[in-house]
Structure 1
Protein backbone atom coordinates (compact mmCIF):
# COMPACT_ATOMS: atom_id res chain seq x y z
CA UNK A 1 0.00 0.00 0.00
CA UNK A 2 1.35 3.41 -0.93
CA UNK A 3 2.16 5.90 1.82
CA UNK A 4 -0.30 8.39 0.36
CA UNK A 5 -3.08 5.78 0.52
CA UNK A 6 -2.17 4.97 4.11
CA UNK A 7 -2.41 8.67 5.00
CA UNK A 8 -5.94 8.87 3.55
CA UNK A 9 -6.98 5.61 5.21
CA UNK A 10 -5.60 6.86 8.52
CA UNK A 11 -7.54 10.09 8.07
CA UNK A 12 -10.81 8.25 7.53
CA UNK A 13 -10.26 5.83 10.41
CA UNK A 14 -9.16 8.46 12.95
CA UNK A 15 -12.00 10.79 12.00
CA UNK A 16 -14.51 7.96 12.40
CA UNK A 17 -13.11 6.98 15.80
CA UNK A 18 -13.26 10.56 17.09
CA UNK A 19 -16.78 11.04 15.72
CA UNK A 20 -17.99 7.80 17.31
CA UNK A 21 -16.37 8.68 20.62
CA UNK A 22 -17.89 12.15 20.68
CA UNK A 23 -21.31 10.76 19.76
CA UNK A 24 -21.04 8.20 22.57
CA UNK A 25 -20.01 10.86 25.10
CA UNK A 26 -22.87 13.16 24.08
CA UNK A 27 -25.36 10.29 24.37
CA UNK A 28 -24.01 9.40 27.83
CA UNK A 29 -24.50 13.01 28.88
CA UNK A 30 -27.99 13.28 27.38
CA UNK A 31 -29.21 10.02 28.92
CA UNK A 32 -28.09 11.04 32.38
CA UNK A 33 -25.51 8.25 32.74
CA UNK A 34 -22.94 11.02 33.23
CA UNK A 35 -24.15 13.56 35.75
CA UNK A 36 -23.42 17.23 35.17
CA UNK A 37 -24.90 20.45 36.45
CA UNK A 38 -24.71 22.09 33.01
CA UNK A 39 -25.77 19.53 30.40
CA UNK A 40 -25.83 21.89 27.38
CA UNK A 41 -22.44 23.29 28.34
CA UNK A 42 -20.97 19.80 28.65
CA UNK A 43 -22.31 18.79 25.25
CA UNK A 44 -20.92 21.97 23.73
CA UNK A 45 -17.50 21.29 25.25
CA UNK A 46 -17.52 17.71 23.95
CA UNK A 47 -18.47 18.68 20.41
CA UNK A 48 -16.05 21.62 20.24
CA UNK A 49 -13.15 19.51 21.47
CA UNK A 50 -13.96 16.67 19.07
CA UNK A 51 -14.34 19.10 16.18
CA UNK A 52 -11.02 20.72 16.94
CA UNK A 53 -9.28 17.35 17.14
CA UNK A 54 -10.86 16.25 13.86
CA UNK A 55 -9.76 19.45 12.16
CA UNK A 56 -6.19 19.15 13.42
CA UNK A 57 -5.93 15.50 12.35
CA UNK A 58 -7.42 16.32 8.95
CA UNK A 59 -4.87 19.06 8.30
CA UNK A 60 -1.90 16.96 9.37
CA UNK A 61 -2.89 13.89 7.38
CA UNK A 62 -3.87 15.86 4.29
CA UNK A 63 -0.45 17.53 4.34
CA UNK A 64 1.11 14.07 4.68
CA UNK A 65 -1.00 12.83 1.75
CA UNK A 66 0.06 15.71 -0.52
CA UNK A 67 3.71 15.35 0.50
CA UNK A 68 3.74 11.62 -0.21
CA UNK A 69 1.87 12.09 -3.46
CA UNK A 70 4.41 14.65 -4.68
CA UNK A 71 7.27 12.29 -3.88
CA UNK A 72 5.57 9.51 -5.83
CA UNK A 73 4.75 7.31 -2.86
Structure 2
Protein backbone atom coordinates (compact mmCIF):
# COMPACT_ATOMS: atom_id res chain seq x y z
CA UNK A 1 0.00 0.00 0.00
CA UNK A 2 3.03 2.28 0.26
CA UNK A 3 2.84 5.16 -2.22
CA UNK A 4 -0.73 4.36 -3.23
CA UNK A 5 -3.75 6.57 -2.76
CA UNK A 6 -6.15 5.45 -0.07
CA UNK A 7 -9.82 6.20 -0.63
CA UNK A 8 -11.20 8.55 1.99
CA UNK A 9 -7.78 9.38 3.45
CA UNK A 10 -7.13 12.98 4.39
CA UNK A 11 -3.79 14.53 3.55
CA UNK A 12 -2.61 17.42 5.69
CA UNK A 13 -0.58 19.97 3.73
CA UNK A 14 1.27 22.58 5.77
CA UNK A 15 1.48 26.09 4.30
CA UNK A 16 4.82 27.24 2.91
CA UNK A 17 6.92 28.26 5.93
CA UNK A 18 8.96 31.48 6.00
CA UNK A 19 12.12 29.64 7.03
CA UNK A 20 14.29 32.73 7.48
CA UNK A 21 11.73 34.46 9.70
CA UNK A 22 11.28 31.29 11.77
CA UNK A 23 15.04 30.93 12.27
CA UNK A 24 15.49 34.61 13.11
CA UNK A 25 12.79 34.36 15.79
CA UNK A 26 14.88 31.67 17.49
CA UNK A 27 17.92 33.95 17.58
CA UNK A 28 20.10 31.16 16.17
CA UNK A 29 22.70 31.33 13.42
CA UNK A 30 22.09 29.43 10.20
CA UNK A 31 24.73 26.87 11.17
CA UNK A 32 23.29 26.22 14.63
CA UNK A 33 19.67 26.14 13.46
CA UNK A 34 20.55 23.72 10.65
CA UNK A 35 22.36 21.45 13.11
CA UNK A 36 19.43 21.43 15.54
CA UNK A 37 16.87 20.52 12.88
CA UNK A 38 19.16 17.93 11.30
CA UNK A 39 19.94 19.46 7.92
CA UNK A 40 23.08 20.81 6.28
CA UNK A 41 23.62 24.59 6.45
CA UNK A 42 23.47 24.73 2.63
CA UNK A 43 20.02 23.11 2.70
CA UNK A 44 18.83 25.74 5.17
CA UNK A 45 20.28 28.52 3.00
CA UNK A 46 18.45 27.13 -0.02
CA UNK A 47 15.19 27.09 1.93
CA UNK A 48 15.71 30.66 3.14
CA UNK A 49 16.45 31.86 -0.39
CA UNK A 50 13.42 29.99 -1.81
CA UNK A 51 15.58 27.85 -4.12
CA UNK A 52 14.24 24.66 -2.56
CA UNK A 53 11.11 24.09 -0.48
CA UNK A 54 11.20 22.10 2.74
CA UNK A 55 8.94 19.06 2.63
CA UNK A 56 7.45 16.40 4.86
CA UNK A 57 8.89 16.10 8.37
CA UNK A 58 11.10 19.18 7.95
CA UNK A 59 8.08 21.30 7.10
CA UNK A 60 6.19 19.92 10.12
CA UNK A 61 9.15 20.65 12.42
CA UNK A 62 9.40 24.19 11.07
CA UNK A 63 5.70 24.66 11.84
CA UNK A 64 6.33 23.57 15.44
CA UNK A 65 9.29 25.94 15.79
CA UNK A 66 7.21 28.73 14.25
CA UNK A 67 4.57 28.25 16.96
CA UNK A 68 7.17 27.85 19.73
CA UNK A 69 10.66 29.22 18.98
CA UNK A 70 12.01 27.50 22.11
CA UNK A 71 10.94 24.04 20.90
CA UNK A 72 14.45 23.19 19.66
CA UNK A 73 15.96 23.75 23.10
CA UNK A 74 13.66 21.04 24.46
CA UNK A 75 14.87 18.58 21.84
CA UNK A 76 18.57 19.35 22.37
CA UNK A 77 19.40 19.84 26.02
- TM bin (shorter chain): under 0.3
Which structure is richer in relative contact order (CA contacts within 8 A, separation 6 or more)? 1
TM-score relative to the length of structure 2: 0.25
Query: Which structure: greater helix fraction?
Result: 1
TM-score relative to the length of structure 1: 0.26
